[in-house]
Amino acid sequence: MNKPLLALALAFGIASVASVQAQTPPAASPAPAINDAQIAHIAYTAGVIDVTAAKQALQKSHNKAVRAFAEEMQRDHTAVNEQALALVKKLGVTPQDNPTSQSLASGAADEQKKLATLSGSAYDKAYVDNEVAYHKTVNGALSGTLIPSAQNAELKSLLETGLKLFQSHQMHAEHLAQSLK
Amino acid sequence: MLRTTILLAGLLALTGGILPASASNAKRPATTPGHHVHVIVIDQMQYGPMPTDVHAGDIIEWANKDILEHSATARDGHFDVDLKPGTSGRITATAGTLAFFCKFHPTMTGTLVVK
């Protein structure tokens, strides 16, 4: 597993453990491991990372199918993040930076540097393989941690819609990865 | 009297001018009697259930309830309907098998048979 994905898996692993621990002692209202402001920040950061990766792909790749995929990622993640921003504004919530978002951002920057050194089919394959792994991990985090932890119904609903969209992205990335073999 | 007639004519013209414009702005233009409108709802990256018993001349309408832009694009290139979030688009069905996909999300596909 590459560094950003490892960071994400660890962060969500820790969050899940913390969530279980918080629920173990009988408490009147156990505090969630992560709050809605942090969840919104993580989801938004994850979207920005994929848009940045897509922009790099559109600069580097000459493969028609890879470029079409990158355009889809850029368009969809931008649209979802716009919805997320509109929602937090409506709810009066300020997205809150947190260690998971920070790990995600720094890990993604490292991955982008690595991809920048590649070109041609080697780049295409590395980009698409990373997209498969990234969507798999983010989708796991959404279904396993972010959606169950979200307290606000509208935020939960947007995350659920996002999960459906990103599962479709993962499927597209997997098909594309197969075709590049 | 002449002035009243002119005023009346002017009012009628205005009314006549406004009403057809409103009708032409409606999302559901009048269809030929007997021809049905079949709606395919798009939500969460999926085309909803495909209509059955569709006949040539019927209207196929795609209603995009998703938060993303989609399209209904014919595999054979006969139609390409762009669908911004919250909008709908229509074609008049021709006999045969209509295979279509979303040009923005190729994993979204649909097929319907027109009699």
Domain ranges of chain B: 37-114
B30's tokens: 């009048």
Q: Which chain B residues touch A72 with a CB distance below 8 Å?
A: 104-105
pLDDT score at B106:
87
Please answer whether residues A140 and A170 qualify as being in contact, where contact means their C-beta atoms are separated by less than 8 angstroms: no
- B82 in contact with chain A, both atoms CB, cutoff 8 A: no
Cα A32 to Cα A151: distance, rounded to the nearest angstrom:
9
The answer to whether B56 contacts chain A (CB < 8 Å) is no
Please state, for a pLDDT cut of 70, what percent of chain A lies above it: 82
In angstroms, the separation between the Cα of residue A76 and the nearest Cα of chain B is 7
Structure tokens at B114: 């027109």
Please state the φ and ψ torsions of residue A130, each to the nearest 5 degrees: -65, -35
The number of beta carbons lying within 10 Å of the beta carbon of residue B2 is: 6
Considering only CB atoms, B67 lies closest to which of A161, A168, A171, namely A161
Tell me the two tokens of residue B76. Answer: 């054979």
pLDDT surpassing 60 at residue B45: yes
Per-residue model confidence as pLDDT tens digits over A122-138: 999 999 999 999 999 99
Which among A169, A160, A158, A142 is positioned nearest to A71, based on CA atoms? A169
Distance from CA of A107 to the nearest CA of B (A): 28
Q: How far is A105 from chain B (nearest CA, A)?
A: 25
pLDDT bracket for residue B22 (50, 70, 90): very low
Q: Which residues of B touch A79 (CB under 8 A)?
A: 67-69, 85
Looking up tokens 């295979």 gives B99
Residue A33 has a pLDDT of 82
Kindly state the tokens that stand for B53.
Answer: 């018993």
d(CA A40, CA A81): 10
Q: Are A172 and B107 in contact (CB under 8 A)?
A: yes
3-state secondary structure of A49: helix
User: How many C-beta atoms surround the C-beta of residue A30 within 10 A?
Assistant: 13
CA–CA distance from A60 to each of A47, A66, A96, A128 (Å)?
20, 10, 33, 13
pLDDT in tens, B82-94: 999 999 999 999 9
- Determine whether domain A35-180 maps to CATH 1.20.1260.10: yes
CATH class of B37-114: mainly beta
Listed by start position, the domains of chain A span 35-180
B68/B56 Cα distance (integer angstroms) = 30
* Model ipTM value: 0.71
d(CA B44, CA A143): 16
List, run by run, the mean pLDDT of 10-residue segments along chain A (181 residues).
53 45 46 85 95 97 96 95 93 93 91 95 97 94 94 94 94 95 81
Cβ B45–A168 below 8 Å, yes or no? Answer: yes
Q: Quick one: pLDDT at residue B2? A: 44
